[in-house]
A and B are shown apart, each in its own frame.
Chain A
Amino acid sequence: MNTAQLEARQVSKIFGVLPVLRCIDLRVNRGEGALIVGRNGSGKSTLMRILAGLSRPSSGQALLFGEPAHSLGPQQRCRISLVSHRSFLYPRLTARENLEFYARLYRVTDYQYVVEKLLDRVGLGSFADEPVFAFSRGMEQRLTIARSMMTEPEVLVMDEPFAALDAEGIDIAAELVRDALQRGCAVVMTAHDPHQLRHLAFISYSLENGRLVMAHFGSDSEGRKPRPAAAG
């Protein structure tokens, strides 16, 4: 049986006495994308943090490459990337310095070329030497997406990556995600507006009352059909 790149098995999360996630099952294989939509406070970000291995579930298991997500070794951690609500960027470093810092940390070979290419790709080539604190929210988000793509991850966890992006930014980000999918990357993404992702063939889910249910927003029309096994 093919091991899923990313898997949630009966994942629940309780904060104090408040259950946020209830028995979530999700499986994303190589080259597949899953879109999770939900209202504010529905638990999307909590689920993303658990799937990325930053937070532990109260019960159940989150697996990356078949191993518990929160206890991955350094080699496995190289294979995942997270886009969160927060940019993970240092405001007083320039765009180039931020990317080069993470590239060195991830031991990206020929990182200067990679950084240059990505900055151009997200339309920030001419702002490469500007400090991030001078960036608009949209520019910061473009840089965040560039950072997440730099290591060519095998699993991409993206929490509302298109927030604050303009139409051009959304197209650029969607193109980068599509490239990642074609490379075989497993992508799981949250969004408020599923129509922003109409060009991506994602399996859609909705997070309602802490449970993951299948959803259809029209975004699947160009791609695959939802897999019934994945609903929690």
Chain B
Amino acid sequence: MSSFATILHKDLRLELRGGQSTITLNILSLLILTVLTFALDAPSRSSLLAAGALWVAMIFAGLAGATQAMVSEWENECIRCLLLSPADRGAIYAAKLVASFIFMTVAQITSLFLMVFFFDLNFDMRIVRLAPVLMMGAMGFASLTTLLAAIQAQIKTGELLLPLLTVPVFIPALISGVKATQAALAGLPFAGFAQWLKILGACDLLFLAGGYLLFEQVVSED
């Protein structure tokens, strides 16, 4: 088993045992979508609002839950032992990223069902078209927060760092994601929101490359 698979297997086992990430993500998503549903005027509910609500739920729930795989490594300073091990730093980052991505995807599936229910939408091809948009959003968000969670963990008073840095940096991806979601929910074909998907893809690549290249610097001591 490769280092990547070994670390990912451990993270998934920890999650199955405690459910810290997925439970946090799902409960927060439910809470946010419920609040937004009641806050928004019922007659004005539409796919436009649904798209916004879905991404708000993803961002705020993600900030609390998606970083658990990384944060757990700072408990008992396990990250130091990982860094001393023969595991490649890139493999450590990739395993943490994939774990966060899986946790977010699970939460997104729940959010999607809740959104359809709360916003009186139908389960049809529009929902299927959302899959790549949401997966790309989750990938970008997971790759960014995995790196920023590692920075936060290194700084003793850095609790506010994650939300303060994540939201502004993620804004281009967020706008693209919301626009692509709106288009998909409005029933447009892929070509209708391809440009937003391209921007989202470019953001993902940037976050992935940045995370991969900077991870070693971030987790190393002076």
Contact = CB atoms under 8 A, between A and B. Distances in A.
Given A74-B86, A77-B85, A101-B6, A90 B80 contact: no
Contacts, number: 72
Contacts of A77: 84-86
A225 interface: no
Interface string B60-85: 00000000000010011110111111
Contacts of A97: 13
Contact of A93 (B10, B83, B88): B10
A89 B78 contact: yes
A90 B76 contact: yes
B86 A87 contact: no
Interface residues of A, number: 31
A106 B80 contact: no
Nearest to A74: B86
B14 A54 contact: no
Interface residues of B, number: 26
In the A-B complex, the 9 residue pairs with the smallest Cβ-Cβ separation, listed nearest first, are A88-B81, A74-B86, A86-B77, A55-B221, A104-B6, A105-B85, A78-B86, A86-B76, A87-B76
8 contacts: A54-B80, A54-B83, A74-B88, A84-B77, A88-B80, A89-B76, A92-B17, A105-B7
Interface of B: 1, 3, 6-7, 10, 13-14, 17-18, 72, 75-78, 80-88, 220-222
Interface of A: 49, 52-56, 70, 74-75, 77-78, 80-82, 84, 86-93, 97, 101-102, 104-107, 147
